[in-house]
Amino acid sequence: MTEPLPSPRPSWDDPAGRADLVLESVGEGPRLRADAVRNSARLLEVAADLVTLRGAENLTMEAVANGAGVGKGTVFRRFGDRAGLMMALLDSHEQALQERFLTGPPPLGPGAPAVERLRAFGSAVLRHEQAHRDIYLAAQTDSRRRRTVGAYRLRLSHLRLLLGEARAGGDLDLLAHSLLASLDTALVDHLVVREGMSLERVESGWYALVARCTGAVAPDGR
């Protein structure tokens, strides 16, 4: 069902030194009791409804508390802060994307050559995050936090694996981080909204980066 993950010190010629990639949460925190899970689900349901009605930029902890009929402190205790709430809202969207690149059909999922999967991964992330851009942008107020949550680490491990399979040279950890940085929601939003670039141009840039990293030819021949 899942695909192999390189060990912390991978040897790309040794398939025995691999584990499994599994779905990861966007948020953080300990496993909750059943009643706490139900309460959290109710708070997230209210938050999702408010995002639909008012937009993510107008969502407040107080509004969620009022909508759920609880004190504001309850919302803060569960999610920590507004960014934590936004990360929790992203979970269902993020896990749908994870399922596509971990177990979905090729070229995004298993079964296609590594370079094709790398290209498809960038395209999928760009279009997925643009479709949910308000929530992703609202959740990315703390750059240190978003690079430590499970969802980011899963993306990182996935890219590192594909880069190894494509025999990319250099430090694969740094290369994977650099590639993910080029897909950062805030950067892509700036390029599209402020710089007037089309999403297709950003996507073409991703193909060119993959080509430079792997020595493959980009779809447009660059």
In a domain, 121, yes or no: yes
206 has pLDDT over 50: yes
Measuring CA to CA, how many Å separate 151 from each of 154, 162, 175, 190? 5, 17, 18, 23
In a domain, 222, yes or no: no
Query: In this predicted structure, what is the pLDDT of residue 148?
Result: 74
* Count of structural domains, the chain: 2
Query: In this predicted structure, what is the pLDDT of residue 55?
Result: 85
Residues 60 and 108 in one domain: no
Q: What residues form DSSP beta bridges with 18?
A: 6
Query: In this predicted structure, what is the pLDDT of residue 86?
Result: 84
**Long-range contacts, 119-122 (Cβ 8 Å, 24+):** 119/206, 119/207, 119/210, 119/219, 121/158, 121/159, 121/162, 122/179, 122/182, 122/183, 122/203, 122/206, 122/207, 122/209, 122/210
134 has pLDDT over 80: yes
In a domain, 39, yes or no: yes
pTM of the prediction? Answer: 0.73
CA distance 44 to 211: 41
The CATH number for 38's domain is 1.10.10.60
In a domain, 14, yes or no: no
Residues 58 and 94 in one domain: no
Whole-number average pLDDT of the chain: 83
Q: For residue 163, what are its two tokens? A: 């880069």
Residues 57 and 161 in one domain: no
Query: In this predicted structure, what is the pLDDT of residue 89?
Result: 85
Residues 130 and 53 in one domain: no
In a domain, 7, yes or no: no
| Residue ending a domain, choose from 58, 80, 102 | 80
Q: Please state the rounded mean pLDDT for residues 108-137.
A: 94
Domain hosting residue 120, numbered range: 89-214
Query: In this predicted structure, what is the pLDDT of residue 34?
Result: 57
142 Cβ contact list (under 8 Å, min separation 6) = 83
DSSP per position, 15-47:
TTSEEE-----SS--PPPPHHHHHHHHHHHHHH
Closest CA to 138 of 86, 94, 81: 86
Residues 56 and 111 in one domain: no
Confidence of residue 127 (pLDDT cuts 50, 70, 90): very high
In a domain, 26, yes or no: no
Residues 154 and 185 in one domain: yes
In a domain, 171, yes or no: yes
Residues 74 and 94 in one domain: no
Residues 99 and 200 in one domain: yes
Coil, helix or strand at residue 156:
helix
Residues 186 and 94 in one domain: yes
CA distance 62 to 76: 9
Question: In the block, which residue shows the tokens 């073409």?
Answer: 204
Residues 64 and 128 in one domain: no
Residues 127 and 197 in one domain: yes
Residues 96 and 198 in one domain: yes
In a domain, 27, yes or no: no
% of the chain with per-residue pLDDT over 70:
79
Q: For residue 129, what are its two tokens? A: 């995050």
82 has pLDDT over 90: no
Confidence of residue 29 (pLDDT cuts 50, 70, 90): low
